[in-house]
């Protein structure tokens, strides 16, 4: 064990109740929600930090002794961004979970990284404010994790992703120094935007210990419109039609037939199983405008050859979205393992890419539940299989490699909101040009010269 001889020394500045040293205690921290990583290792220590000062002490010690530091929130990451690949210390932020301030005048929230995203949403709504980032697992995922991955979700079409709501960050650097990046104000043209470098960096540049986030006024009401289609061309045309009507929905999501069936079997929410695709269009805004928006969307869907249009009652909307969010859990009923992917292409290329997703899953004999945020071109193929079956595993890898090749050919990216982590780093060079990655590595070296902060993630140094 890397830290066996250092634990006694570290306990002089740590609360021993916050340190997990026994193998049985550390074992579960070798895992996150990814399941294709072979180089996962059990961390040498797990430390539940409770203050900025404690984080600084741990990292200063790690810097001197060149010990890897892996920050961790709820562990819901799907690409191995918060697991150990070379031992080290896992910093668990679940005890740094306080909402420090909600400022209605400034429309900001100051939070610790362990705050559950869903809890923040509830708290700011008490002030008629709204925090839009909306990953499917928002009931358990943390602010720190969403900053690390620049999480998005269903509402990204209208409201953007986490990066659009980070105003300022307090960050502990690799040598244990505390720096503040960004500011408390909504506009900033004062030098480089270093806070935006931290967002989406997967804990490889610095450790976020506090965040000031932008809030917006809470929409007065919302309305959901469902449209069923039989082919992907009409499905994507419907999205184009909606935009042509000058309607700006909060979200435009979709599900393909296998996903519709699987989610309906799991949630029993009344989805129609007769059609190949389901489009979910959520509108929000003032009560006075929502009826007109709804009529325009229904007209847009009808002109795109929708086979069935439904407008659920307001009290049914949350249940439908809850069912949509269960897609991963629902898929686990089909086979022992589910591998959820995350790709994005320009919307003009979506119909062809959706068609190709279906074709390559059939070609490689991999069961797939396809869902996604179709408004911004973000697809989530969920591959359902038995990873212990060697043939299944080989077919999955071949399927993913072909999928990423398609993404490249259609000017897309291999990750929109899940990150790169350990799982996707070998594919990064096929998507980004070498000079871009070279500059990323230079930035990593400037922030973390000893390569102790979440090493091995995104790319190798």
Answer whether residue 20 shows pLDDT above 80. yes
Provide the total of helices (H) and of strands (E) in the chain, helices listed first. 16, 19
The pLDDT-based confidence of 4 (bands split at 50, 70, 90) is low
The pLDDT of residue 248 is 97
pLDDT of 2 higher than 60: no
The CATH fold of domain 334-417: Alpha-Beta Plaits (3.30.70)
The chain-wide mean pLDDT, for the chain, equals 95
May I ask the CATH class of domain 99-217? alpha beta
What average pLDDT does the segment 424-444 reach?
96
Q: Look at residue 359 and give its three-state secondary structure.
A: helix
Q: How confident is the model at residue 39 (pLDDT cuts 50, 70, 90)?
A: confident
Q: Contact at 8 Å (CB) between 223 and 312?
A: no
Start-end ranges of CATH 3.30.43.10 in the chain? 7-92
Q: Tell me the mean pLDDT in the region 432-442.
A: 96
What pLDDT sits at residue 11?
A: 77
Cα(32)–Cα(202) distance, integer angstroms: 14
Which helix (H) or strand (E) is 382 found in, with range? strand 378-385
pLDDT of residue 314: 86
**CATH 3.30.70.2190 domain extents, the chain:** 221-328
Q: Which CATH code is given to the segment(s) 221-328?
A: 3.30.70.2190
CATH 3.30.43.10 fits 7-92, yes or no: yes
Residues of the chain with CATH 3.30.70.2740: 334-417
Q: pLDDT tens digit string along 86-102?
A: 889 999 999 999 999 99
- Range list for CATH 3.30.465.10 in the chain: 99-217
Per-residue CA distances from 251 to 80, 153, 224, 275 (Å): 28, 9, 9, 21
User: Can you give the pLDDT at residue 13?
Assistant: 84
230 burial via Cβ count (<10 Å: 0-12, 13-18, 19+)? middle
pLDDT score recorded for residue 235? 98
């Amino acid at each position: 064990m890397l830290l066996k001889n250092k634990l006694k020394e570290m306990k002089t500045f740590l609360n021993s109740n916050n340190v997990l040293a026994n193998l049985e205690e550390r074992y579960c921290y070798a895992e996150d929600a990814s399941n294709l990583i072979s180089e996962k290792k059990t961390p040498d220590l797990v430390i539940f930090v409770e203050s900025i000062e404690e984080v600084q002490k741990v990292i200063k010690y790690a810097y001197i002794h060149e010990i890897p530091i892996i920050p961790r929130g709820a562990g819901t990451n799907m690409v191995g961004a918060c697991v150990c690949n070379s031992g080290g210390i896992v910093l668990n932020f679940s005890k740094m979970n306080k909402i420090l301030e909600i400022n209605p005048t400034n429309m900001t929230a100051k939070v610790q990284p362990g705050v559950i995203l869903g809890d923040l949403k509830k708290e700011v709504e008490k002030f008629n404010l709204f925090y839009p980032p909306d990953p499917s697992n928002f009931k358990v995922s943390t602010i720190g994790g969403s900053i690390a991955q620049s999480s998005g979700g269903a509402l990204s079409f209208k409201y953007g992703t986490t990066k659009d709501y980070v105003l300022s960050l307090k960050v502990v650097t690799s040598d244990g120094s505390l720096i503040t990046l960004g500011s408390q104000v909504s506009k900033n043209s004062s030098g480089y935007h270093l806070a935006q470098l931290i967002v989406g960096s997967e804990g490889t540049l610095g450790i976020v210990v506090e965040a000031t986030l932008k809030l917006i006024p809470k929409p007065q009401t919302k309305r959901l419109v469902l449209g069923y289609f039989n082919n992907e061309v009409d499905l994507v045309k419907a999205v184009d039609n909606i935009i042509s009507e000058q309607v700006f929905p909060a979200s435009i999501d979709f599900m393909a037939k296998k996903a519709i069936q699987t989610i309906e079997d799991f949630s029993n929410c009344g989805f129609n199983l007769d059609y190949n695709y389901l489009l979910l269009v959520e509108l929000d805004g003032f009560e006075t405008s929502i009826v007109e928006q709804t009529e325009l969307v229904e007209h847009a869907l009808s002109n795109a050859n929708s086979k069935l249009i439904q407008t659920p009652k307001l009290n049914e909307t949350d249940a439908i979205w809850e069912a949509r969010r269960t897609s991963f859990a629902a898929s686990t009923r089909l086979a022992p393992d589910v591998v959820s992917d995350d790709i994005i292409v320009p919307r003009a290329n979506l119909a062809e890419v959706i068609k190709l997703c279906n074709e390559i899953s059939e070609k490689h004999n991999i069961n797939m539940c396809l869902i996604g945020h179709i408004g911004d071109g973000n697809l989530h193929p969920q591959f359902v299989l038995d990873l212990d079956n060697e043939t299944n595993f080989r077919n999955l890898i071949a399927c993913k490699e072909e999928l990423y090749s398609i993404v490249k050919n259609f000017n897309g990216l291999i990750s929109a909101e899940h990150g790169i982590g350990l799982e996707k780093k070998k594919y990064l060079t096929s998507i980004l040009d070498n000079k871009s990655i070279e500059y990323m590595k230079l930035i990593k070296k400037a922030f973390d010269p000893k390569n102790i902060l979440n090493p091995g993630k995104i790319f190798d140094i």
